[in-house]
Amino acid sequence: MQTLREFTRKTKRGNILKIVREHYLRDDISCGSDLCQYCFQNEVYELTSGHDIKSSLFKFPHYIVLDTNVVLDQIDVLEEDVLHNVIVLTTVLNEVKHKSSSIYKRLNELIHDRTRNFYVFVNEHHKDTYADREPDETANDRNDRAIRLATKWYDSHLQASQDPKVFQRSGRSVTRVVLLTDDAGNRAKAEAENILVASAAEYVKSLEDFPLLVDKLSLKTFENEKQALPQFPPHLSMKALLEGLRLKKLLQGSFHASRENYLEGSVSVEGYETGILIQGRDSLNRAVEGDLVAVELLPESEWSAPSEIVLEEKNVYADDVPSEERAEEENEMLQQVQTAPVAERTPTGRIVGIVRRKWRQYCGILQPSLIEDTTRHIFVPADRKIPRIRIETRQASKLQNQRIIVTIDSWPRNSRYPHGHFVRSLGPLGNMATENEVILLEHDVPHCKFSEEVLGFLPKMPWSITEEDYAKRVDLRDLYICSVDPPGCTDIDDALHCRELPNGNLEVGVHIADVSHFIRPGNAMDKEAAARGTTVYLVGKRIDMVPELLSSNLCSLVGGVERFAFSCVWEVDREANILDKRFHKSVIKSKRAMTYEEAQALIDDPTQTGEIAKSLRHLNRLAKILKKRRMDNGALVLASPEIRFQVDSETHEPLEVEAKQMRDTNSMVEEFMLLANITVAQHIADEFTECAVLRRHPKPPSTNFDPLVKAARYQGFEVVTDSGLELAHSLDKCVKADNPYFNTMIRILTTRCMMQAVYFISGSLQKEEFFHYGLAADIYTHFTSPIRRYSDIMVHRLLAASIGADSTYAQLLERKSNEELCNNLNYRHKMAQYAGRASVALNTHMFFRGKEEDEEGYVLFVRKNALQVLIPKYGLEGTLYLKGDKDGKDGAERSKSEIIFTFNEEDHTQRCGSVIFHSFDPVTVRLSLDSTNVQHEKLVFRLVKPFIKGFSVETSSEAVEGIAAQPPAKKSKKDKKKK
């Protein structure tokens, strides 16, 4: 059966076009129910009579039809294994797909789960349920009518299949169909049409066997909410926002909250180098990290400077009333920054509306409530950038000391915090598995198991190299190739060789795992790898980008096993000058897989004269020449404090922590990986001028270097930052004979000044912008780690296509799709870095649990109310606060003895009496773990030396001197209670 759909459309020139489309209707579409006597069921019944659910609203068996708004708002409820026999209309499915891709994906997973009995009914092509759009009817009203029509048809269709007399004799009730909608207008129309209908909240509350499911309801407002006074300025309407943006009165950008000051944030806006500063609760105006917001720029006379204050929100309970203390904190912070020198002020604005929310699910804990038996609670997110969230839950006692997930539903003007609902519990607080799960979720790391569809594209085992494969590749199995990696590495991406040629030159080869041979473009495994972007390394745990069969087996260049590789081979003279280069796909057989330590021992042992030892010595000598050449060219040697943990194999808890050691072999491998990356980058950029995947590192703005320049100047060194070469030479000169760690600290500070390196497509930028500042390379890419980086797989495909080793395909040469891939890779790479750091912090905290240690350290930099201290022994850094909290929580003694620290903005120093703290000054601190805040356990740094009476931790000798010098101070009742 065919029907015609007619509609008109106005062209840009003002002409009216009449468009006629054919729409086919059928009478053989099944209803999917095992009760039906009329429909031809061409598959297993999806709607069965074996899943009755007890509802006080509908006391008979029933199927459920979902409205679009219920799916969009209540997906967390639907995902619980409670509701069965659910009919999903194609009208609803298409609306959800259009409005939210993430919820559409979650709904599809429910539909494909056969145990849940979610049935897709193609109502748009069924002759009895298709609803043509009426004149002057909106698309939304037409869809609502189509949903009601389908529900009514389903109900009458099933009733016709059920003989009431038969059911009466058996004592069973007839199965009906219920529509769930949160649209009040749609509900009223459904009731008028005698359709069984309820809101999602009404239905969930009526479920007798699942009272706790109510916690997962998305509630836009809480009871008695409208009586509260407004606490924020109103947001502009979407129409006003779009008009303001069009007229350039408003600016648009992504909001980024400060991790250290809850009253501060910034908005990244094109054309503003450092973004637009936002300060104060009213100006932040309910923006949440990641939201796309509209900003009104303040007059220049009202611009402010970023505060260097560390400010955390404390003592928050489930009330909405801002306390005097909080208001005082905010005013004090704003007064300090408003009196900042004009030179330090930056563009400042206020948020006037939200263009698009970027809310997600958040991990955290419930804060214990002061009121007994209340259902209202405050959720404290693990991410300090996210505000507290108000939720309603009836299982607070069960959720105490649990990590839970909550999602935000709304943020009304009259609520201090956004409103949300409980999603699920992750596990006990402090449990290693739970905390790792939190890290992965908070950093948006995809870590679910690989789907059957993805695994279906893996090679069938046992796998072996065929004669056809040998014929297509260069056979390098006889070469003395070896790999050098960290201990315990199983995903070995790269291997090296070096041999003498008859003409006296050297042949150097870098051999990279040929992952692109196994992952073909466009299949499910390729899409999954592209979405993940990178392998993520936590302490003692790895989240692979590709399935383990590839990462640790078939692609990994393990010793003594034949493997596919993509080889980059150079002919060089004895001074490491490149005379020739070639690329080819190969078959290799690594003679040995070594650790950096083993390779170093082999190089250093003069009794070792084998081919591998010779190869390594040649490589090591050439690497030193290459490195010196890079340094002379202006490449930077940067540093960051890195920690290595020894982890218990059973409990996965850290047994020992130490700073990572760097050997010559680390640098040796690094130099040849850099050389391979640069060589490949030059080649693919020449071959594919518009679509080569490259990596650039922008030069930082000069203001980024201010803290470094000031700190070095006080120490008597002048750091010149006009070019990378001048900066590199300046850093080399920053050496102190009495402090061997000084140069490392200077380089750590320099690292903090750098911009983030990013992937990009060659056709999107001018060649001058390809420059990699840190490496002083005109062009650069990533080729050497395809097991753990998708960017390298893209580069392998380009290189293979350029040498005829593999065929090209349309998407490989599409600039737009590759730019989207690069944006995702940049995001995934950044999140992987943050997740790795969070894992190190977690394990550091677990190591120091129950311990107190006095360690020597250095002041890395000075803030307005804190010192950032670096501990070389452990390679970790932390904050030593110089100002106690106003409630005396961790600074009562300081305030009573009138310990005052004065911050000098000119030379970035802190003074207390005769003691002055500068960057790089040596200090002794006591390290301990503060577990009073179970959500954010933190490593506490307390000053031991230099000794400041009333502030420093008193050791036994200092305590004796203090007693002799003056009588003991009287303690207040508050102090006695603390004891």
Other beta carbons within 10 angstroms of residue 814's beta carbon come to 15
Are the beta carbons of 693 and 781 closer than 8 angstroms? yes
Q: Predicted confidence band at 324 (pLDDT cuts at 50, 70, 90)?
A: low
pLDDT average, residue stretch 36-49: 73
What is the average pLDDT across 603-630? 92
Please compute Rg for the chain using Cα positions: 33
For residue 664, count other CB atoms closer than 10 A to its CB.
16
Banded pLDDT at 972 (limits 50, 70, 90): very low
Residue with the larger pLDDT of the pair 250 and 936: 250
Tokens of 673: 């990986």
Q: Which residue has the tokens 């040998």?
A: 470
Q: What is the dihedral of CA 632, 634, 637, 638, to 10 degrees?
A: 170
Enumerate residues 6+ apart whose C-beta is below 8 A from 194: 152
Domains of the chain: 2-208 (3.40.50.1010), 361-429 (2.40.50.700), 459-694+775-831 (no CATH), 849-884+902-945 (2.40.50.140)
- Percent of the chain at pLDDT exceeding 90: 44
- pLDDT at residue 196, as a whole number: 94
What pLDDT is attached to residue 316?
55
Which is more confidently placed, 470 or 7?
470
Q: What's the pLDDT band for 904 if we cut at 50, 70, 90?
A: confident
pLDDT at 654: 61
Count of Cβ atoms closer than 10 Å to residue 978 Cβ:
12
The mean-pLDDT minimum among 520-529, 612-621, 944-953 falls in 944-953
**Cα three-residue angle 768-773-777, rounded to 5 degrees:** 70
Q: Residue 926 in contact with residue 853, Cβ under 8 Å?
A: yes
CA dihedral for 209, 77, 195, 169, sign (positive or negative)? negative
pLDDT-derived band at 2, boundaries 50, 70, 90: low
At 670, give phi and psi (nearest 5°).
Answer: -60, -45
Say how far apart CA 510 and CA 505 lie, in whole Å.
17
Environment class of 736 (CB within 10 Å of its CB; exposed 0-12, middle 13-18, buried 19+)? middle
Name every residue whose Cβ is closer than 8 Å to that of residue 529 and which is 6 or more positions away in sequence: 519, 545, 546, 790, 793
pLDDT at residue 891, rounded to an integer: 39
State which amino acid sits at residue 778.
D
Say how many C-beta atoms besides its own lie within 10 A of residue 78's C-beta.
Answer: 23
pLDDT of 567 strictly over 90: yes
On the question of pLDDT at 52 being above 80, the answer is no
At 341 the pLDDT is 64
pLDDT at 961 over 90: no
Per-residue confidence band for 35, with pLDDT thresholds at 50, 70 and 90: confident
Rounded Cα distance between 666 and 642, Å, is 14
CA dist 745 and 730 (Å) reads 14
- Rounded CA-CA distance 976/888 in Å is 13
Q: Mean of the pLDDT values across residues 344-369? A: 89
pLDDT at 49 over 80: no
Q: Report d(CA 902, CA 864) in Å as an integer.
A: 8
Nearest by Cα to 383 from 290, 447, 252, 282: 290
Structure tokens at 643: 């920690």
Beta bridge partners of 565: 513, 586
Q: List the one residue out of 648, 682, 850 whose CA is nearest residue 767.
A: 682
For the residues 415-435, what does the mean pLDDT come to?
A: 89
CA-based torsion, 338, 342, 346, 351: positive or negative: positive
Closest CA to 348 of 413, 293, 286, 280: 280
C-alpha distance from residue 526 to each of 459, 545, 728 (Å): 14, 10, 40
pLDDT tens digits for range 672-702: 999 999 999 999 999 999 999 999 999 988 8
> Has residue 711 got a pLDDT over 90?
no
Confidence of residue 329 (pLDDT cuts 50, 70, 90): low
Q: For residue 327, what pLDDT is reported?
A: 64
Cross-strand partners of 537:
542
Separation of alpha carbons 684 and 795, rounded Å: 8
Calculate the CA 511 to chain-centre distance: 31
How many CA atoms are closer than 13 Å to the CA of 944, on its beta-carbon side?
19
Q: What is the pLDDT of residue 967?
A: 37
pLDDT tens-digit map of 145-173: 999 999 999 999 988 888 777 766 666 78
**Would the CA dihedral through 309, 314, 320, 322 be positive or negative?**
negative
648: pLDDT strictly greater than 80: no
* Residues facing residue 739 across a β-bridge: 736
User: Which run of H or of E encompasses 860?
Assistant: strand 852-862
Cα separation, 793 vs 474, in Å, equals 20
Which among 799, 769, 751, 638 is positioned nearest to 695, based on CA atoms?
769
> Distance between alpha carbon 190 and the CA centroid of its chain, in Å?
43
